[in-house]
């Protein structure tokens, strides 16, 4: 029941009367989440921009983060928790489930509420009406297509499944229903009762020396439980690469970027949030920062001892005789491209909590890589890995940005020292300030072709701003030269790259690890060469598309397949039709372009292991112990599909555990599009091993079928016996 005793603010939530004694200027979103426990209403920005907090007020959608709870008095509020009908999913929720419209799930409650308003007034909306009605709720995963499909087709929603649910069949997400009801817990949605609040103090300068004064007097004066500085961190360095753990948990005497963490305050939420920057015991001395342009010179002051020239790492791929090939080529082209920082802008800011349980630490937070987090926290805390447990929450988008540690080390340290649970939730500005970005780039490239249009040479040099700390800079610098030519066969290649340290925010992983930046250059070159030769731009790419049997710039021969040529051939008719519709003169013009890109699945410069376990429980159900973090891409579902097919049973017999480092093995990070292929293969092998063991113990033939029912395993051979 939602009823709360009080005499102040009375309204109705999901059909029940509520009375709250809280300040009337409290955000309605906070009242719903913190006072009533209705965490299905999400907070992504607290500025009315993302729409994740959308609820219905008297049937009209509103961003609850912008509504003071005092304005809700006397009104009827409906949240996502109120959509279910008699304990079952509503038709709209069933439609979202059927269409796979809930991916990471952080925007799903807002989408459902906005759609509910529309459908109440327009039961059969057009796609345009759906798009207009839901335009205030942002999604970073789906591209909106499945969401719009679900709303337009909601009356046709069914409860049935299609096919066996094995690989290739459409299957409703095994984790879909909690995302649709508001029951799914993200990093900011839960913490133990009595949890303290942690607030990180960050540098307001791109580069600055600083001194911290008397923290004990400051702590007592403000009634804080703890003030953390660099002196409190057992091993004050972390980073992705073992040889590059150059980022401090809390900076020591000098901040390296605007957003660098220098101190953490722990205490009651109201106290921690009320402290103003001017009252902090910190003295700042700004220093001229090293810019991207500075780092490209030899005279810039080095930021780290491991990079005296500010070059974190160089990448290099060379094949053939590039200079000779250019000299003999019929046509050449050159291009210079620049790209800037890009923010991941996942709807969920970083959040989580930690608690000490005896001599162990337990961290519950959003992440793309639970095992990697465990290992890094163990290093920071100088603890054995076995003493650290990471339990990933649902993660509201990642795109590479949640591969690096965020809240985890400081909540872990505070919880360990205080022996009380401690939580931290980044604000949207803090998330944008403190977390990694896509690498800015400056690229110079040239390419050459013979008179028939065949590529003969490619020359590439790219600088990438890796920011204040290494993060995934080595991966970018090493991956880019491998991909620099694009998906084309080029006999002579020189591709060089550098990841450069600056006093900008750290650049990390972001959907491609530098390859999209390189694609800007190689596709511009393909257009220029085609135009110089008088060739159609698609036909030029088709002529040069790398094919099975040909070698890449690294010398790898693609023996199995290379599908670009088939893709381009399939596009021919559409391309020609689009060309015919071009408008090249007048005030309103219409252009058309074509571009190709390739991307190697899996880690670069790192091993690619994954371990999965499948077990048979005494009650006859199967358990998949899955260490791969599902951040919306659907790995929870596809792993079960793969394991079910390999074992030869239906997916309905499977339960799963996702990412808990005490219960699952290392499945590697969720990035580089690797989980379905790498961890999926591990799930297949684990299920096949279990099948073989069942058949062996039952003395059954390999062609036997396995059936599970009422805690029993039944096997039948091909004759049905």
pLDDT tens figures, 149-193: 999 998 777 666 555 789 999 899 999 999 999 999 999 999 999
Nearest to 598 by CA among 536, 635, 556, 545: 545
User: How many C-beta neighbours within 10 Å does residue 495 have?
Assistant: 26
Length of the chain: 721
Bridging pattern class, strands 455-467 and 492-501: parallel
Q: Between helices 91-99 and 108-121, what is the axis angle to 10°?
A: 130
d(Cα 425, Cα 351) in Å, to the nearest integer? 4
What is the model's pLDDT at position 240? 86
Reported as type and span, the H/E element at residue 96 is helix 91-99
Bridging pattern class, strands 54-57 and 360-365: unpaired
Q: Can you give the pTM of this predicted structure?
A: 0.95
Residue 182 in tokens: 């508001």
Reported as type and span, the H/E element at residue 93 is helix 91-99
What is the model's pLDDT at position 528? 98
d(Cα 611, Cα 679) in Å, to the nearest integer? 7
Residue 702 in tokens: 């390999």
What tens digit of pLDDT does each residue of 407-453 get? 999 999 999 999 999 999 999 999 999 999 999 999 999 999 999 99
Nearest to 54 by CA among 85, 22, 83: 83
What is the model's pLDDT at position 6? 52
- Beta-bridged to residue 57, according to DSSP, are 60, 77
Averaged pLDDT in 10-residue chunks for the chain of 721 residues:
63 97 97 98 97 98 98 98 90 95 96 97 95 96 91 80 77 96 97 98 98 98 98 96 86 98 98 96 98 94 93 97 98 98 97 98 98 97 98 97 97 98 98 97 98 98 97 94 98 98 97 95 98 98 97 94 96 96 93 94 83 95 97 96 96 96 97 94 98 92 89 81 59
What is the model's pLDDT at position 160? 62
d(Cα 161, Cα 41) in Å, to the nearest integer? 29
Residue 93: exposure state from Cβ atoms within 10 A (0-12, 13-18, ≥19): buried
Residue 332 in tokens: 């050449």
Residue 677 in tokens: 């292929």
d(Cα 154, Cα 83) in Å, to the nearest integer? 14
Bridging pattern class, strands 360-365 and 388-392: parallel
């Amino acid at each position: 029941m939602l009823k709360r005793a009080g005499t102040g603010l009375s309204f109705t939530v999901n059909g029940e009367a509520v009375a709250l004694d809280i300040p009337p200027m409290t955000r309605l979103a906070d009242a719903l989440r913190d006072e009533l426990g209705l965490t299905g209403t999400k907070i992504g920005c607290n500025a009315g921009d993302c729409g994740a907090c959308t609820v219905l007020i008297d049937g009209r959608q509103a961003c609850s983060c912008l509504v003071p709870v005092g304005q809700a008095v006397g009104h009827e509020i409906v949240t996502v928790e109120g959509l279910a009908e008699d304990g079952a999913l509503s038709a709209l929720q069933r439609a979202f489930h059927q269409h796979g419209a809930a991916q990471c799930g952080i925007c799903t409650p807002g989408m459902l509420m906005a759609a509910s308003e529309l459908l109440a007034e327009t039961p059969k909306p057009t796609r345009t009406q759906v798009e207009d009605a839901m335009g205030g709720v942002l999604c970073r995963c789906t591209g909106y297509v499945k969401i719009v499909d679900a709303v337009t087709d909601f009356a046709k929603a069914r409860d049935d499944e299609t096919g066996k649910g094995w690989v290739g069949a459409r299957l409703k997400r095994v984790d879909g229903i909690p995302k649709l009801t508001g029951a799914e817990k993200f990093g900011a949605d839960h913490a133990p009762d009595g949890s303290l609040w942690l607030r990180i103090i960050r540098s307001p300068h791109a580069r600055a020396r600083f001194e911290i004064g008397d923290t004990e007097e400051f702590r007592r004066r403000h009634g804080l439980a703890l003030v953390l500085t660099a002196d409190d961190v057992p091993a004050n360095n972390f980073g992705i690469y073992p040889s590059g753990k150059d980022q401090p948990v809390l900076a020591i005497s000098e901040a390296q970027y605007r957003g660098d963490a220098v101190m953490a305050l722990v205490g009651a939420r109201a106290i921690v949030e009320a402290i103003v920057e001017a009252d902090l015991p910190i003295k700042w001395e700004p220093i001229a920062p090293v810019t991207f342009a500075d780092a490209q010179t030899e005279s810039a002051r080095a930021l780290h001892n491991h990079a005296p020239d500010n070059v974190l790492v160089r990448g290099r791929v060379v094949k053939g005789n590039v200079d000779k090939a250019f000299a003999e080529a019929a046509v050449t082209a050159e291009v210079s491209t620049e790209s800037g920082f890009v923010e991941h802008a996942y709807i969920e800011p970083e959040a989580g909590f930690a608690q000490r349980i005896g001599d162990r630490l337990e961290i519950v937070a959003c992440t793309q890589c639970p095992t990697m987090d465990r290992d890094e926290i163990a290093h920071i805390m100088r603890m054995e890995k076995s003493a650290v447990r990471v339990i990933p929450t649902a993660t509201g988008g990642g795109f590479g940005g949640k591969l690096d540690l965020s809240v985890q080390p400081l909540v872990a340290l505070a919880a360990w020292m205080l022996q009380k649970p401690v939580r931290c939730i980044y604000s949207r500005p803090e998330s944008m300030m403190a977390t990694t970005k896509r690498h800015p780039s400056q690229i110079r490239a040239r390419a050459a072709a013979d008179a028939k249009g065949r590529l003969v040479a490619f020359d590439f040099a790219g600088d990438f701003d890796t920011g204040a700390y290494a993060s995934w800079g080595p991966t970018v610098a090493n991956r880019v030269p491998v991909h620099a030519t694009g998906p084309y066969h080029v006999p002579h290649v020189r591709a060089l790259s550098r990841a450069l340290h600056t006093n900008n925010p750290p650049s990390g992983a972001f959907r491609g690890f530098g390859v999209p930046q390189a694609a800007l250059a190689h596709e511009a070159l393909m257009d220029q060469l085609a135009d110089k030769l008088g060739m159609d731009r698609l036909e030029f790419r088709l002529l040069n598309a790398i094919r099975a049997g040909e070698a890449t710039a690294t010398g790898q021969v693609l023996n199995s397949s290379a599908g670009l040529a088939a893709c381009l051939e399939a596009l021919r008719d559409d391309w020609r039709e689009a060309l015919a519709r071009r408008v090249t003169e007048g005030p309103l013009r219409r252009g058309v372009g074509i571009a190709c890109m390739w991307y190697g699945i899996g880690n670069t410069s790192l091993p690619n292991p994954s371990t999965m376990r499948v077990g048979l429980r005494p009650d006859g159900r199967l358990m998949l112990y899955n260490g791969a973090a599902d951040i919306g891409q659907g790995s929870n579902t596809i792993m079960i599909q793969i394991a079910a097919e390999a074992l030869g049973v239906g997916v309905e017999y499977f339960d799963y555990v996702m990412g808990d480092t005490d219960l699952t093995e290392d499945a590697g990070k969720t990035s580089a599009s690797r989980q379905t292929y790498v961890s999926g293969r591990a799930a297949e092998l684990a299920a096949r091993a279990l099948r073989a063991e069942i058949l062996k113990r039952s003395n059954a033939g390999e062609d036997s079928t396995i059936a599970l029912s009422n805690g029993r395993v039944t096997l039948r051979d091909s004759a049905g016996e």
